[in-house]
Amino acid sequence: MAGILVLGAGAGAGAYFLLDSSNGSDSQSSAPAPNIVIHHQQPQAAQDLGFPTFATNNTTRIAGMDPVADAAGAALAVHPSVGGVEGPAAVSVVEATDWRAGIAAASLTAPPIGAPILLSATDSVPGLTSDALGALAPGGSGATGGSQLFRIGSPAVPPGLHSTVVPGSDPAQLAAGIDQLRQKLTGSKPGHILLVGANRSAFAMPAAAWAARSGDSILFMDHDSAPKPTLDALRRRKGVPVYALGPPSVISDKALKSITKVSGQVKRVGASDPVQNAIDFARYVDGSFGWDIRDPGHGFVIASDARPLDAAAGAALSASGDWGPLLVTDDPASVPGPLRGYLLDVKPGYIDDPTRAVYNHVWLLGDQDAISVPFQAQADDLAEVAKVSSGGGAPSPGPKPGASGQQKATPKQPYPKQP
């Protein structure tokens, strides 16, 4: 069974709708859309009602078996497109095997373009992607240059939509082309440029959420050098602040030194493992760059580092609603220690009145193979608002800021205003 499970309940009976993505293609070659199987039964257990598998007090799961399904689910969650509510003006379509193009395309998700990412094969459009496009019904706008669809590389797309193509097969070339397209549409340079490693997906994943939040461009680096399209893009963007995400094992000091000759100083943020790397980036702030999330009252998105395209699939979740950074896990069964420590650091609390508290919310990407139900239960507990006995913060048996490899929180700076 593959795809997204959606529950409808009424008058004591449950109806289960299973959309079968079949790993990105139709389960039957003759079927133009995914099979829909409907089972009516009385709910017998909590799992029959979708809890805690799909939602808890403080978490919501987009339970796709693969990133194709997660992308469709995230796009429809952010843009319900029913009840007279318009969908997005455009969508971006990326090849379902190209995590680099997906992460780079996240900057087109940011306002004012607002194009969520869908995934497609090279020879056919998956049923879930086709259905999601039909439901979203992008109509184009001035902000999208009239385009209803941005085709990144060479994925298959449905006919009949006004499309803009970003050509190329090389990741550095595609990322530079996306940077140029966003400037053409917005009429302005990016506020910042974020360099990520082209060969270490787990370290690059958090960049997608920030690009979706800010509109900043993502460019790719090899370990010891900068590809020519990246250097050319940096020359065009001379004067734009540049940051590198990840440790020297991902982008070497030698590679960054070559960048300084083109764009001046490059600041590095990140850590030596993917989980801590995402946490460090969520905490980081330098002027208007960075999430600066070191206090409660925020949204978060968690994905498995084994599914890098989930970073692209969930990018729209960071560009509206809870505006949350992407955190990654290398353990599908349990919240890793560093991630647990960070979520405890930002755990919300109240003294007298919980209705006057701030709250955290966590989106989880992927089915139970990607992130287990016990993991979700732990994340829910870590996000739950807690009563405190004084103004010192929520009680916690976990590590304090600065312990167990966690960054020590620095004095709070003004949080960048949301677009």
What string of H, E and C letters represents the secondary structure of 264-315?
A: CCEEEECCCCHHHHHHHHHHCCECCECCCCCCCCCEEEEEECCCCHHHHHCH
* Residues 68/129, Cβ–Cβ less than 8 Å: yes
* Cis-peptide into 414, omega within 30 deg: no
Per-residue pLDDT tens listing for the chain (419 residues): 344 444 333 333 333 333 444 443 333 333 444 444 444 444 444 445 566 778 999 999 999 999 999 999 999 999 998 888 899 999 999 999 999 999 999 999 999 999 999 999 999 999 999 999 999 999 999 999 999 999 999 999 999 999 999 999 899 999 999 999 999 999 999 999 999 999 999 999 999 999 999 999 999 999 999 999 999 999 999 999 999 999 999 999 999 999 999 998 999 999 999 999 999 999 999 999 999 999 999 999 999 999 999 999 999 999 999 899 999 999 999 999 999 999 999 999 999 999 999 999 999 999 999 999 999 999 999 999 999 975 444 444 443 444 333 333 333 333 343 33
Is residue 104 classed exposed, middle or buried when 0-12, 13-18 and 19+ CB atoms within 10 A define those classes?
buried
Domain count, the chain: 1
Closest to 212 (Cα-Cα) out of 331, 317, 336, 55: 317
Asked if residue 348 belongs to a domain, the reply is: yes
pLDDT at res. 51: 66
Q: Is residue 375 part of a domain?
A: yes
The answer to the question of residue 77 being in a domain is yes
Instruction: For Cα atoms 404, 406, 407, give the angle at the middle one, nearest 5 degrees.
Output: 145
Phi, psi of 215 (to 5 degrees): 85, 5
Amino acid 169: pLDDT: 87
Whether 51 is covered by a domain: the verdict is no
pLDDT of residue 49: 57
The model's pTM: 0.83
Amino acid, res. 341: G
* pLDDT, position 266: 96
The verdict on residue 31 lying in a domain is: no
Domain that holds residue 329: 58-387
Residue 140 lies in a domain: yes
Q: Is residue 402 part of a domain?
A: no
Q: What is the pLDDT of residue 53?
A: 73
Q: Please state, in angstroms and rounded to a whole number, the distance separating the CA atoms of residues 32 and 137.
A: 18
- pLDDT value for 313: 97
Interatomic CA distance for residues 252 and 223, integer angstroms: 6
- Whether 26 is in a domain gets the answer no
